[in-house]
Structure formats: structure tokens, C-alpha cells
Amino acid sequence: MPDFETLTLEQVQPHILRVTMNRLPFANAMNTQMGLDLMHCFEDIALDPKDTRCIVLTGAGEKAFCAGGDLKERNGMTDEQWQRQHLIFERMVRALMACPTPIVAAVNGAAYAGGCEIALCADFIYAADHARFALTEVTLGIMPGAGATQNLTRAVGERRAKEIILSGLPFGVQQASEWGLVNKVVPGADLQKEALAIAARIAGNAPISVRQAKQAISRGVNMSVWDGLAFEVEAYNRMVPTEDRREGIRSFNEKRPPKFTGR
């Protein structure tokens, strides 16, 4: 398992990888190195997932998932340096969103600005009951540029996304849940257990089926319903000749748990 300066990677259960953003003294704020580390981590997983079938993405400690961009590092940057750094963040977002392996964000505290955008790149979010969210970029003379204008809008709808982004106001986890941003709210002490439980459920399913279903949802939401249906059928047909499909039917008829191999 590769080493990253700002990330901790742990194979916490069979087929489950936990990726922890780990800049604890800085509230896990995202500096250039973290952008590079996340980009390389998720590009590597896309190229070769090995036996990983689900990823839990979280932050170190109990106070912050990720406090956003490291503004101390950004202080005094020239326009050119700022844009070069942002190119890294853009590639990071694409690596997260394009990862074929399902990603569950376990938001363990504040997810502000770029931190909120990282959480939005996951397939869905479980959050501690003390978590808070905000997209504060317009209060700093910029705007969300790591996917929030697209991912937040798809999660909560256009009008709510405009309210959140244009005001820059923070909001609590209950609001995030009511608005459709967060799937499940749990006590902070139970967050990792709950995130790992749903990850284990996903990892126990047929991995080709999970990846194809994820792709059909992610791609299809941006298509007309008719194009989405056609894409769904193509994704479905990929599974018909697999050993996992045959094993699934055999195990059902033999009244035993399936043993999926990803083939």
C-alpha cells in the first residue's frame, strides 16, 4: 500500500479501504500536497483497485473532515501560482468522481469550502451529529471551483444550491440531511462503525454489478431518460457472461451466501 504525506490508508476489513485526510494540526485543510495525494491515490485505485470493493473517505480527529483550502499556504500566491495549484485540485476532483469503486464519505466534523466539495465527490455521505457544512468561497472573493456548483445542485436542487453557495452561510447536519446532502446522521462515536457497516454491505455484493450500477446512475443522470435506459442496458449486458452472475443464481438456489470473485 503506497505511502502519502497527507493521507493514511488502511485496509480495515476485507475489500474495504479507509482513506483518512490527515493534517490534524491544520483541521485537515487541503494544501497542494493533499491535492496531489488525493489525485494520485484515487487515480491509482481506478487503474488498479486490487481487491478493494469500497472506500471510506474521512478526516483525522473528531473536529474536522476537511476545513477547506489551506489559506495560509495560499497567502501571497501569485495569480499564476494560484491557478497552477487549482489545476491540481481540478484533477483531484475528477479522480474522485471518476473512481469506479464506490466511495462513502464519513464526515466526522467540519466540512467547509473545499472540504465540503470533497465530500460531495463521494457517492454518498454519512455524517456525525456534530458535523457542519459550508461553502464560503464567495466571502473570500472566489467561488466553489472543485465541483460544488455541479454536485451540490444535483444533490439538493438548484434553488437550495443557490441559497447555500451565494450566501456562504454554514449549516448543520440536520439541515444537510433534510436537504438531501447527507444520507445518514449518526452519533460521532458511531460514525466509523456505521460507515464501515454500509461499506461492508456494498463490498459483499458482486463487484462488477456494483461498478456497473454506479456508472449507470452517475452517467445516466446527465442523459435523457431514453439515453439513460439505453446506457443501463449496455451496463447490464456486461454482467450476463460473468461468473459472478452464475454464482449469484447458484447460491440463491442452493440457499447459501454467494462467493463473488469479480470475474
Pairing mode, strands 54-59 and 16-21: parallel
Determine the longest span between alpha carbons in the chain, in angstroms. Answer: 66
* Grid coordinates of 107: 464526515
Q: Which of 91, 147, 83 is CA-nearest to residue 121?
A: 147
pLDDT at 211: 95
Cα-to-chain-centroid distance, residue 244: 26
User: Which residue of the set 43, 62, 73, 117 is catalytic?
Assistant: 117
pLDDT at 116: 98
User: Which residue of the set 10, 137, 163, 254 is catalytic?
Assistant: 137
pLDDT at 107: 98
* Grid coordinates of 160: 437550495
Count of beta carbons in the 10 Å neighbourhood of residue 67: 24
pLDDT at 90: 96
pLDDT at 2: 77
The per-residue pLDDT string of the chain (263 residues; one tens digit each, 9 = 90 and over) reads: 778 999 999 999 999 999 999 999 999 999 999 999 999 999 999 999 999 999 999 999 999 999 999 999 999 999 999 999 999 999 999 999 999 999 999 999 999 999 999 999 999 999 999 999 999 999 999 999 999 999 999 999 999 999 999 999 999 999 999 999 999 999 999 999 999 999 999 999 999 999 999 999 999 998 999 999 999 999 999 989 999 999 999 999 999 999 999 99
* Grid coordinates of 192: 466509523
By CB neighbour count within 10 A (0-12 exposed, 13-18 middle, 19+ buried), where does 221 fall?
A: exposed
Taken in order of first residue, the domains within the chain and their CATH numbers are 7-203 (3.90.226.10), 207-253 (1.10.12.10)
Which DSSP helix (H) or strand (E) runs through 116?
Answer: helix 114-121
- For residue 117, indicate whether it is catalytic: yes
Q: Which of 66, 53, 150 is CA-nearest to residue 107?
A: 66
Predicted model pTM: 0.94
